[in-house]
Amino acid sequence: MKSGAQPIYMLRQAWLLVRGSPWLTAVSALTIALALTLVGLLAMVLFNAGHLLRELGQNLTLSVYLKDSATPEQEAAVRKQLEGHAGIKRVKALSREEDRARNRRLLSAELLQGLDEAAIPGQPMLEVEIDAELASRGDVEALVQWTQALKHVDSVQDVDFGAEKLRLLFAMVEIARTIGLVLSVVLLASAMFFVFSTIRLAVFSRKDEIEVLWLVGATPSFIRLPFLVEGGLQGLAGAVIATGLLGLLHTELLGLVRDVYMLNVNWSLLPPGMVVWLVIGGPAVGLLASALSVGRYLKV
Amino acid sequence: MIQLFHVYKRYPNGTDALVDLTLRVREGEFVFLTGPSGAGKSTLLRLLLVMERATEGQILIGGRNIHVLQERSIPFLRRNIGIVFQDFRLIPRRTVFENIAISLEIMGMGGKEIDRRVHQLLDGLRLGHRAGAFPGDLSAGEQQRVAIARALVNEPAILLADEPTGNLDPDLGQEILQLLIEISRRGTTVIVATHDHGHIERHGMRTLVLNRGQLTDDRPRGAAPTVRQSQVVPVHGTVHALAASGDDEPLQEVLTDAEDLS
């Protein structure tokens, strides 16, 4: 490989191979596209779920209601116990009056009319801010269990933990992740199999040519390269199709989220660098599959 | 240019394809290699191209001992050896021009230089007007000329031809042989394996006769065939080859060279 003419030669030969079996090449490229789209979709779901959980996590609080009889010492003990726990960002004590004042703000003016001040619920409590980075499900589970245990503390009347609502979301993300991963692996494997078979057929259809090249003194890499380039091209075509599909899906999804759920999504639904990964990953998958095929069927 | 010292080729099934073969072909020499089917003609050509390795012995090409050649060096040796087959082995999907250009493309030559060299050669072979044709559109004689062009375009030191006239009618075969002789006159060492005695007798070039893997006769250029092949008594290769080639370089000296290389 000592001249600038070689890359052009390799690309031309690879293009001739593509033209030799256009349908097979198209099927291979489409399978890669499908696999990559699914992987991209999975990445999108996981990325956005993580984003959503982080957003929710910022408002995630644990309310520990204390018994009326709780002494300042008991309150301090509970507070100390809370502050010592991992995943807890801040603990703020609210007196009965402060809690009542906050609840009054939550109730509508109509309801408040003629309502006795004492009827508005108010309870001395500790408002606990949970670390927003608390992303993994295991942590929340541990925290939920721990808060259940808090209920048995003498001075604690009740514990209200918003994160319990998140458990469903976490479970759904978990299922999506598992199904997505399995499907991605299966699809990627079949995409690789398609490329592998296409390259094998290309090698067989070029047996005469390979022999001549070998006899006139072509190096093994010179003989193999066009086949590898063909695999890479199939992968690149797949990646481009997948990027287009995901872009389309992204636009549609963003519109859906905005229109139906009236949510103002202020972050991109695409994980950063995903397009780059796809454009690298596609040719990499193609190259790997063709390298396996060439290694197995092109003996020089 | 080509030297063989006590070369043996034994196949795993026990067949002895070449037995104690010692010979020498000088630069620019034209040599016929003949003998009945299975005599070892093709085996010898395959050994020279390092498509196979000798079981024993040394082979020197241009002073290099190819017996000890590393795998990755083989392609570079082959660029110095052109090969022509009975069945032409042209690539049907490629045009005449592209078939010939292969030999230069593998060397990484630029497009313009390839263009110049291939067209020059095609014109010399009276095939200039066929550059864009596919092998299927050519006559057998034209196809063999294209195959010769492919073997010659990178100006190899050696040209091997395995039954190059086998698929051609006598007149065309004659034409191809004339071409090969002309090529040797220009300095290329040419070895033509053939069992066509008509050609051999007509041209009176040096002829190596193989039988059952052994060199049974080495007729120098211009010598009339004195013995029939079947009457040749196998002679020990070394002595015979040296006596016949008229080369006075002592064998021991050449062998020492070979050892230096290895």
Instruction: Summarize pLDDT for B74-93 with one digit per residue, the tens.
Output: 999 999 999 999 899 999 98
Are both B248 and B167 inside the same structural domain? yes
- The closest CB to that of B110, out of A3, A209, A220, belongs to A3
Exposed, middle or buried by CB within 10 Å (0-12, 13-18, 19+), for A78?
buried
Q: Is the pLDDT of residue A208 over 80?
A: yes
Q: Is the pLDDT of residue A61 over 90?
A: no
Distance from CA of B110 to the nearest CA of A (A): 5
Higher pLDDT, A139 or B157: B157
Are both B110 and B236 inside the same structural domain? no
Q: Is the pLDDT of residue B151 over 90?
A: yes
Q: Is the pLDDT of residue A4 over 70?
A: no
d(CA A225, CA A15): 12
Mean pLDDT, residues A244-260 taken together: 81
Are both B132 and B222 inside the same structural domain? no
Q: Is the pLDDT of residue B221 over 90?
A: no
Are both B196 and B254 inside the same structural domain? yes
Q: Which of A18, A212, A219, A224 to mutate to test binding with chain B, by most B CBs within 10 Å of its CB? A: A212
Contact between B107 and A239 under an 8 Å Cβ cutoff? The reply is: no
Identify the weakest region by mean pLDDT among A133-147, A250-264, B100-114, B228-242: B228-242
- Structurally, how many domains does chain B consist of? 2
Are both B174 and B112 inside the same structural domain? no
Q: pTM of whole model > 0.80?
A: no
Q: Which residues of chain A are within 8 Å of residue B116 when distances are taken between CB atoms?
A: none
Are both B41 and B146 inside the same structural domain? no
Rounded to whole angstroms, what are the CA distances from B244 to A161, B191, B237, B247, B253? 105, 17, 10, 8, 18
Q: What is the pLDDT of residue B239?
A: 32
Identify the weakest region by mean pLDDT among A113-122, A290-299, B128-137, B169-178: A113-122
Are both B251 and B178 inside the same structural domain? yes
Distance from CA of A214 to the nearest CA of B (A): 7
Are both B167 and B70 inside the same structural domain? yes
> Which tens digits make up the pLDDT trace of A71-99?
888 888 888 888 877 777 788 888 888 88
Mean pLDDT, residues A271-298 taken together: 89
Give the end of a domain, one of B110, B129, B155: B155
Are both B244 and B206 inside the same structural domain? yes
Express as a percent the part of chain A with pLDDT over 90.
Answer: 23
- The closest CB to that of A216, out of B51, B106, B108, belongs to B106
Give the end of a domain, one of B130, B155, B180: B155
Domains of chain A, first to last: 5-55+169-297 (no CATH), 61-161 (3.30.70.3040)
Are both B49 and B31 inside the same structural domain? yes
Q: Which of B91, B134, B150, B158 to mutate to test binding with chain A, by most A CBs within 10 Å of its CB? A: B91
Are both B169 and B249 inside the same structural domain? yes
Give the end of a domain, one of B120, B155, B190: B155
Mean pLDDT, residues B51-69 taken together: 91
Are both B76 and B194 inside the same structural domain? yes
- The closest CB to that of A5, out of B49, B83, B109, belongs to B109
Q: Is the pLDDT of residue B261 over 50?
A: no
d(CA A210, CA A196): 18
The length of chain B is 262
Q: What range does the domain containing B178 cover?
A: 2-80+156-261
Supply the CATH number for residue B231's domain: 3.40.50.300
Taking one residue from A and the other from B, the number of pairs with CB-CB distance under 8 angstroms is 62
